[in-house]
Amino acid sequence: MDNPVETIGIASARIARLAAIRMMLCAVAPAVTAIGLGLFLEPIGDVTWTRFGYLLAPDRAAVLSLALIGGGMVVLVAGLVVSFRAYRHANDFVAAAAELDDLLDCDQEIVTFATLANPSAPESSRARRTPLFPVLWRHAIASFAGLDVRREFRLEVGEPLKRSSIFAGVVAIAMVLATLGLVRAPTPENTEAAKLRAIAEEIARSSTSSDDTALAAKIRQAADALENSKLPPEEKKKRIEEAMRQADKAAEKRNNSQSGKNQGTGKSNAQNGKGSGKSQSQGNSAGAGSGQSNSGTGAGQKLGGNNPGSGKSSNGNNSGKNEGAKGSAKNDKNDQNKGDRSNIELRNELAKAEAQVEAANAKNPGPDNKPGDAKNQGGADKPGDNPGESGNQPDPNRPGNIPKPGAKSARNVPAAGGNPKNDKDMGSNLGDTHLGEMPTSTNAQRFLKPGEKGAAPDIKDARYVMFRLPGEPSSGSGGKTVLDIDRPTATTVYVNAPLAPTSDNAPPDERQLVPPRYRDMIR
Amino acid sequence: MGAAPQQASPDQRVADFRKIFSRAETEVARVIVGHREVVRKMLTALFCGGHILIEGVPGLGKTLMVKAASETLGLSFKRIQFTPDLMPSDIIGTQVLTESDGHREFQFKHGPIFAHMVLGDEINRATPKTQSAVLEAMEEHQVTVFGTTYVLDPPYIVLATQNPIELEGTYPLPEAQMDRFIFKVVMGSPKPDELREILNRTTGTAHSRIQPLFEPSRAPQAIEEHKALVREVMVAEPLERYIISVIGGCTPGGPGAIPEVSQYLRFGPSPRGAQALILCAKVNALLAGRVSVSYDDIDDAIVPCLRHRLLLNFQAEAESVSSESILEQVIKRLKKPRT
């Protein structure tokens, strides 16, 4: 190239571009790291803190993720700005000449030439020229002979990437420190919400209809609400109940489709469902029975099996389905049982979640959440108000929902010689626990002592077992107390004081849940 | 003989300068053994239009060197031996009453200062009054006697020598006068080989003949044209900033002054020092075949241009810190601006 001014100009532009790229490279790695960490925070959490039993609250995780993504974007934008500034700074004619001077070892001839031929200041440059300037021009041309600017000024990414990786490491360390500060041991609500989310995930994965998808969404909403400490308990319960209703709806649809296959047995089972409806409404007069008219399902139906009443299930499909399953094909039965189990689990978890909300609300009663407050009363239909509709799942944790000892106890006591068929959990989707249906003391059955003969207590369908240690045996009037020598004696002195009666307002954690798989053992 | 520089092309002018300079060095080297750096600095000072202070013990050939240079360049030469009783009129000249055609009139008798090359031998032996008589001549290239100003013909260069050993009965040059010398060069003792060569040349029968580079009538103009060429050499802005930073770095309390400067110096160089740096660097650039100054050209000029412009304080003298060592530290530590 004959014009050294053009050569210097080209070199200046290339140096400026390289400077901008290098600067951008410095910013890219930390930005990508931050954005990547922000985007994949959940999978990272799955393999790190979640694996070790810690929990990053979703709202905190969202904030951290947002902060990381935002930080990454800021770094990216800052990188762009700095790159632009580096471009402008490096796009200097004289500076490029200095680079070329060093490169070609020209003893500042190129710099001098550039200062005297600077296109950005032509007048002042020209004024400083002397009659020797042509010599300088020729020297510059001679120096630039064979010069390839692209070859001489190459993009070297090693150093920028090295620097960039340091910044990326800083970002990663900052993320780790932030996470360490934010992770907590999971609370019962977190655990429950996680379970609900897992169920929702499973449902969403195996969803075959829009109802399942809607159910999964509802469950997720309920889980989110459960963890959200800012939401009032009423709102949390509302979400949970919505999830329950959606579960009922989905189960009902599934049963409907199943009942078509089992029409032959549907009739008799409809009666079961019919009877159960009433029991629910009676036993839970103050329960949270805001159920839909066509969803007379759940615990109420099942309990009702012990108390043949005049309750009416609008469709009786659940029982019909259960019975019908016996007569259906084996595969259908398995699928149905699987679905029921899932539904049972879901309902159990939802019930537990609701109980936790209640418990939390009881611990921190707000002005609007006093026990016995009308707001905390379940919206169940009063007996006789709407006998044609069965109530929704009762809420045993709400004050007032728990049956009082002695109050309407007869309705809760399984009648002697009652329908034993209904005592069994025959694969119903009503759940294996019925919070709130606490057996009363009058319904207590005594376990046999070792060696004692007699009828075993029939607690197979019990949802709760309340243990009460017997008091000191009284000899009665004129009787004689005989020491039982075979009785094992304690090595230390102790007082076998009778336990205080369990409070009806006791949180559900203190109530013993008896899962079905342990019932036979107890029996 | 050199070509007519003004009519020649720039490249030719540069080539002529290098040729003249090189030949002058060679011709002086015919009679002066060694001291090539002193000879180079003397010629550099001549083409810069400055004066040079040579410091060295007697008997090193200072007078011979200057005489040889004047013969080589075809310039007139005068020598002044400074003594304590030397009067200014002895240097500048005086009015002498003369009689011609029956009329008596004062006629100015030119002193030895009227020459192209003036050697002021042992200038520190003269009184300050006499020393100051040289000031106007050195700076203004003119002298004034009884209200009449006499211009000194260019080129004009004063080469002053001083003996660093004998300080008794001497009058050290004041800073104002020291500042007027573009260089201060130190003439060291010759090396054994050089001394043997000196003995061979001066104690035998052979005499070296110097070939003048210019005809005596053309020499002053040729020298002036080469001096103009020196001033045409270009300096980039970054290099000008570097020179400024050097001056600032050597000034106590100045911008970028290194700790040693503040510790050992009372005063730093004046703007004349910066001028001397640039001119000397330009000559260095031309000698390297360039028409623009480089950092090396400047660095090469720093010590001879600035060493006599630094005024050391008592601590420096007590610790035997020389101005040269301070300047070397300045060169090492100063950063060369790129743009």
Coil, helix or strand for A451?
Answer: coil
Q: What is the mean pLDDT of residues A95-110?
A: 85
Chain B, nearest residue to A100 by Cα: B338
Residue A424: CA atoms inside 13 Å, Cβ hemisphere, count?
7
- Which residue, among A257, A259, A263, A245, has the nearest Cα to A209 in the 3D structure? A257
Q: What is the mean pLDDT of residues A190-211?
A: 81
Within 10 Å of residue A425's Cβ, how many Cβ atoms?
17
pTM of the model: 0.59
pLDDT at A414 over 50: no
Q: Which of A95, A112, A134 sits opposite B292 (nearest CB)?
A: A112
Q: Which of A92, A108, A135 sits opposite B239 (nearest CB)?
A: A108
B295 and A108 within 8 Å at the Cβ level: the answer is: yes
Contacts of A95 in chain B (CB under 8 A): 338-339
Q: Flag whether residue B257 sits within 8 Å of chain A, measured between CB atoms.
A: no
Chain B, 192 to 231: residues with Cβ < 8 Å from chain A are 229
Q: Which of A112, A114, A135 sits opposite B11 (nearest CB)?
A: A135
Q: Which of A108, A112, A131 sits opposite B232 (nearest CB)?
A: A131
Tokens of A357: 């909300």
The number of helices, as runs of H, and strands, as runs of E, in chain A is 19, 0
Q: Flag whether residue B289 sits within 8 Å of chain A, measured between CB atoms.
A: no
- Return the pLDDT at A447: 66
Q: Are B53 and B181 in contact (CB under 8 A)?
A: yes
Coil, helix or strand for A17?
Answer: helix
Round to whole Å and give the CA distance between B170 and B152.
28
- Return the pLDDT at A314: 40
**Which has more pLDDT, A78 or A449?**
A78
A135 and B339 within 8 Å at the Cβ level: the answer is: no
Chain A, nearest residue to B338 by Cα: A98
- Return the pLDDT at B8: 77
- Return the pLDDT at A365: 58
Within 10 Å of residue B306's Cβ, how many Cβ atoms?
26
- Return the pLDDT at B277: 92
- Return the pLDDT at B284: 92
pLDDT at A8 over 50: yes
Chain segment A336-381, per-residue pLDDT in tens: 555 666 777 787 888 888 887 777 777 665 544 444 444 444 444 4
Chain segment A66-85, per-residue pLDDT in tens: 888 898 898 889 889 999 99
- Return the pLDDT at A381: 43
- Return the pLDDT at A370: 43
pLDDT at A313 over 60: no
Residues comprising chain A, all counted: 523
- Return the pLDDT at B275: 92
pLDDT at A278 over 50: no
Round to whole Å and give the CA distance between B270 and B86.
30
Phi–psi pair at B292, nearest 5 degrees: -140, 150
Please report the sign of the dihedral spanned by the C-alpha atoms of residue A73, residue A76, residue A78, residue A81.
negative
CB burial class (10 A; 0-12, 13-18, 19+) of residue A182? middle
Q: Which of A233-237, A427-431, B81-85, B298-302 has the lowest mean pLDDT?
A: A427-431
B338 and A98 within 8 Å at the Cβ level: the answer is: yes
Cis peptide before B155 (omega within 30 of 0): yes
Query: In Å, how far from its chain's centre is CA A362?
Result: 23
ipTM of the complex: 0.82
Query: Which residue's structure tokens are 């041991």?
Result: A185
Within 10 Å of residue A366's Cβ, how many Cβ atoms?
11
A135 and B291 within 8 Å at the Cβ level: the answer is: yes
**Contacts with B324 (C-beta within 8 Å, 6 or more apart), sequence order:** B303, B307
Q: pLDDT grade, residue A411 (50/70/90)?
A: very low
Strands B93-100 and B311-312: unpaired
Q: Are A104 and A153 in contact (CB under 8 A)?
A: no
Q: Tell me what the pLDDT averaged over chain A comes to.
A: 67
Chain B, 309 to 338: residues with Cβ < 8 Å from chain A are 338
Round to whole Å and give the CA distance between A361 and A355.
10
Which range has highest mean pLDDT (A177-186, A452-461, B129-138, B178-187)? Answer: B178-187
B234 and A95 within 8 Å at the Cβ level: the answer is: no
Coil, helix or strand for B49?
Answer: coil
Which range has highest mean pLDDT (A38-42, A210-214, A299-303, A490-494)? Answer: A38-42
Q: Are A196 and A222 in contact (CB under 8 A)?
A: yes
The number of helices, as runs of H, and strands, as runs of E, in chain B is 14, 11
Q: Which of B234, B237, B295 sits opposite A132 (nearest CB)?
A: B234
Q: Flag whether residue B148 sits within 8 Å of chain A, measured between CB atoms.
A: no
Q: Which of B11, B236, B338 sits opposite A95 (nearest CB)?
A: B338
pLDDT at A263 over 80: no
- Return the pLDDT at A505: 64
HEC states along A332-389?
Answer: HHHHHHHHHHHHHHHHHHHHHHHHHHHHHHHHCCCCCCCCCCCCCCCCCCCCCCCCCC
Round to whole Å and give the CA distance between B333 and B250.
11
Contacts of A98 in chain B (CB under 8 A): 238, 338-339
A92 and B14 within 8 Å at the Cβ level: the answer is: no
Chain segment A15-38, per-residue pLDDT in tens: 888 889 888 888 888 888 888 888
Chain A nearest C-alpha distance from B337 (Å): 10
pLDDT at A477 over 80: no
Q: Flag whether residue B300 sits within 8 Å of chain A, measured between CB atoms.
A: no
Phi–psi pair at A148, nearest 5 degrees: -115, 110
Helix (H) or strand (E) holding B119: strand B117-121
- Return the pLDDT at B279: 92
Q: What is the DSSP letter of A441?
A: G
Strands B52-55 and B157-162: parallel
Q: What is the DSSP letter of A254?
A: H
- Return the pLDDT at B278: 92
Q: What is the DSSP letter of B190?
A: P
B234 and A128 within 8 Å at the Cβ level: the answer is: yes
Round to whole Å and give the CA distance between A393 and A353.
13
Q: Are B306 and B269 in contact (CB under 8 A)?
A: yes
Tokens of B108: 């100015």
Q: What is the DSSP letter of A495?
A: -
Chain A nearest C-alpha distance from B275 (Å): 17
- Return the pLDDT at B176: 80
Which residue ranges of chain B lie beneath pLDDT 50? 1-5
**Which has more pLDDT, A489 or A291?**
A489
Q: What is the DSSP letter of B103?
A: E
Question: What are the angstrom distances between the C-alpha of A347 and each of A14, A190, A251, A293, A297?
Answer: 68, 17, 11, 19, 11
Question: What are the angstrom distances between the C-alpha of B278 and each of A102, A163, A343, B241, B289?
Answer: 22, 42, 95, 11, 16
B238 and A129 within 8 Å at the Cβ level: the answer is: no
Coil, helix or strand for A446?
Answer: coil
A115 and B238 within 8 Å at the Cβ level: the answer is: yes
Q: Are B11 and A135 in contact (CB under 8 A)?
A: yes
Residues comprising chain B, all counted: 339
Give me the amino acid identity at B154. P
Q: Are B233 and B282 in contact (CB under 8 A)?
A: yes
Round to whole Å and give the CA distance between B300 and B252.
22
Round to whole Å and give the CA distance between A180 and A70.
19
- Which residue, among A463, A474, A408, has the nearest Cα to A436 in the 3D structure? A463
Chain B nearest C-alpha distance from A98 (Å): 6
Q: DSSP letters along B133-185, please? A: HHHHHHHHSEEEETTEEEEPPSS-EEEEEE-SS--TT--PPPHHHHTT-SEEE
- Return the pLDDT at A516: 63
Q: Are A87 and A66 in contact (CB under 8 A)?
A: no
A107 and B290 within 8 Å at the Cβ level: the answer is: yes
- Which residue, among B296, B268, B267, B266, has the nearest Cα to B280 in the 3D structure? B296
Strands B93-100 and B103-110: antiparallel
Phi–psi pair at B188, nearest 5 degrees: -90, 175
Q: pLDDT grade, residue A261 (50/70/90)?
A: low
Phi–psi pair at B79, nearest 5 degrees: -125, 135
Round to whole Å and give the CA distance between A288 and A281.
10
pLDDT at A312 over 50: no
pLDDT > 90 fraction of chain A, expressed in percent and rounded = 1
Phi-psi region of B87 (alpha: psi -120 to 50; beta: other; left: phi over 0): beta
Within 10 Å of residue A147's Cβ, how many Cβ atoms?
16
